Amino acid sequence: MKIIQNIKIAVDAVVFGYADNKLNILLIQQKYGLGNWALPGGFVKDTESLDEAVVRELKEETGVKANYLEQLYTFGAVERDQRTRVVAVSYIALINPKNYVLKADTDAKDAKWFNVNDIPSLAFDHNEIINAGLERLRSKINYRPIGFELLASKFPFSDLEHLYQTILNKEIDRRNFRKKLLSFGILTETDEFQKIGSGRPAKLFKFNSKKYQALEKKGFHFEIKFA
C-alpha cells in the first residue's frame, strides 16, 4: 500500500513562570501574518531531536533556557494549522522569570508574560495546549513535590505555600503541608532570614535536589490536604 504523507513536525513550549504570587505563561507575538500571540515554538529541523528543537526555539524566540522541560502531549488535529498539515509535540517548562531578560528574535516580534487567568485568544490550538499544560501541572503537584524551579534559590516556606495555592487555586492545610514536606528532607534550612511585612523575619530554605532525586528513584507519594 502506497502512503502519501506530507506532515511537518513542530514543537511548542508551555513555559510557566511565578512572580508576585501569580502564575504566568510566556507567550510570543508572531512576526508574520496577523501578528497573533502564540506559544514559543516552531518546526523541527531534520538534523535535531524533539528535545533539541524545543530548547532551540525557546532560546531563539524568547532568550530563555529552561532547566526543567517535560514532554506534555502531541496535538495532531488535521486542520490545527491552516498553512499545512502540522503535528505539534508540546512541552512544559518551569522557570523563575526574575532570572531572565526576555528577548524576542527570529519569528517572534515580542515576548511577554501573561497571567494564566488573562490569556488572549491565541494562534492555532495554543489555548488548548495551555489548558492541557495547566491540567498536567495541577495534577502532578498533587502527588509529587515539584515547582522549585519557579522560586528563588533561597526562599521562605511561605513562598512555597503561596506557590502551591496559586497553582491549585485552592487553600491548602498549611500545617499538614509543612510537616509532610519537611519530613521528606528535600528542603535544607539555611542560617539566613528574610523580613516579610511587619512580622518577625522568616527562615530561608533551599531545595535539596540530590535528596529529591534519590527519593524519586525509590518512589514516594506526596498527597496535599486542603483547608
Domains of the chain with CATH codes: 8-141 (3.90.79.10), 148-218 (1.10.10.10)
Average pLDDT over residues 19-37: 91
Burial of 166 (0-12, 13-18, 19+ CB in 10 A): middle
The mean-pLDDT minimum among 87-96, 99-108, 213-222 falls in 213-222
Q: What is the DSSP letter of 118?
A: S
* H-run or E-run covering 47: none
Start-to-end CA span in the chain (Å): 60
For CA atoms 130, 33, 104, 19, the dihedral sign is negative
Average pLDDT over residues 112-125: 96
Report the C-alpha gap between 148 and 208 in whole angstroms.
Answer: 10
Report the C-alpha gap between 157 and 122 in whole angstroms.
Answer: 35
Reported confidence tier of residue 125, pLDDT bands at 50, 70, 90: very high
Most distant CA pair in the chain, distance: 74
Reported confidence tier of residue 124, pLDDT bands at 50, 70, 90: very high
Reported confidence tier of residue 49, pLDDT bands at 50, 70, 90: very high
Report the C-alpha gap between 220 and 79 in whole angstroms.
Answer: 41
C-beta neighbour count of 43 within 10 angstroms = 14
Q: Is the pTM of this model over 0.85?
A: yes
In DSSP terms, 14 is beta-bridged to: 92
C-beta neighbour count of 169 within 10 angstroms = 11
C-alpha cell at 123: 494562534
C-alpha cell at 210: 540530590
Burial of 100 (0-12, 13-18, 19+ CB in 10 A): middle
